[in-house]
A and B are shown apart, each in its own frame.
Chain A
Amino acid sequence: MSEQIAFWILSAIAVLGALVAVRKRNLIHGVFALMIFFAALSGLFLLLLAEFIAAVQILVYIGAVGILLLFAIMLTERVAGDDGRRMTSRGWFWGLVVAAAVFVVLLLPAIQQWPTPEVTQAPDPSVEELGHKLMNPYVMTLEVLALLLTAALIGAVTAAQGMRKPKEEGSPE
């Protein structure tokens, strides 16, 4: 019974957070609303007893992506959004239609009770199990991912470096 209440509260917070993130004119408020959404999501993971994923969710999404968004915001102008520019893109009608279509497709299984695939064996969400899986069958994907990330890191550094090329060569240190 308590899980039901917790689930409804958390999902309500999640939806609210997402809505605020979209509607808010002030970018900073938008980013912080997004982070509330991530926190609610991590709460939902906890409800599913997958606490490693919940922790990683907080660590990665709020800790890293959030900060990245803040860095990006610091570089843009007119963040407070109080300068009266209205952005009414003309194609809002077609946007609404596509959104409705996606919603319908999502709702179909719930309405017609399609036979949900049997869960063969309840996945053991513990960290140890995850560690073993990562190391044996999926070690290749892990290495490729690592390579990809380092490449992205080096790319970012060279891009940032290029922006301000201090001319003085003999600068100390």
Chain B
Amino acid sequence: MSLLGGGIFKGMAVTLRNFVGSYFYKDRLTTNDYSWRPSDKLPQHAGEYPKEEGEQLRDTTTVTNYSRNFPMLLHDGSEPMDTIRCVACQICERECPPQCIYIEKSTEKKENAGGKPQFYPAKFDIDVSVCMSCQICVEVCPFDAIVMNSQFELSTPDRFGGLLLRRDDLLKSNDYYHNIHPEEAAARDKRIAEEKAAKEAKKKAAAEAARKKAEEKAKADAEASEGTPDIQEDAE
């Protein structure tokens, strides 16, 4: 190398530039200061954490609206158990790679948001210590009943019961979902709306086709009863 200690001085020049730079260019400092919060706002127990809807850990600067953590069940209206989407079909329980979901189906049916009587999960536990937030359950769920939450402060004093989230802890409203993952929630709702529209359209088309077929049959009986000469003009 040219100068005896040339390489070492070049390296020291780089560290000096970084040392001085960190005072002027703030974007160099990537460690964001985890904001200090008075102790009363810290979560006491995963279960009863934010009971009031929509309250999200706004001031933690680390949670982006794409990050996914543990799953949560969705319900549409205000009263959770009336408008729950999950119908306890247990597909997610079968598909879950680490087997951390445990569902007990309800015996009798109940009216759900769409008015159709449906089963609902009497028990729906997710063992958060086993779940690896891989989002397979969200993919395989045909009813968009389970989506990923981004709540990560789940530390609990009790190692066993504390980390088993029961159905009531998991239930969150749809607009809470819009609050934490706006883009994804919007896309999902649009897709549901389209499917519903498509189903209605298909149903309407089927109903109409059935009605049309019924008319033709009625017309056909009418001709059959009048006589048989003009069969051929029906055929074409």
A and B touch in the complex (CB under 8 A): no
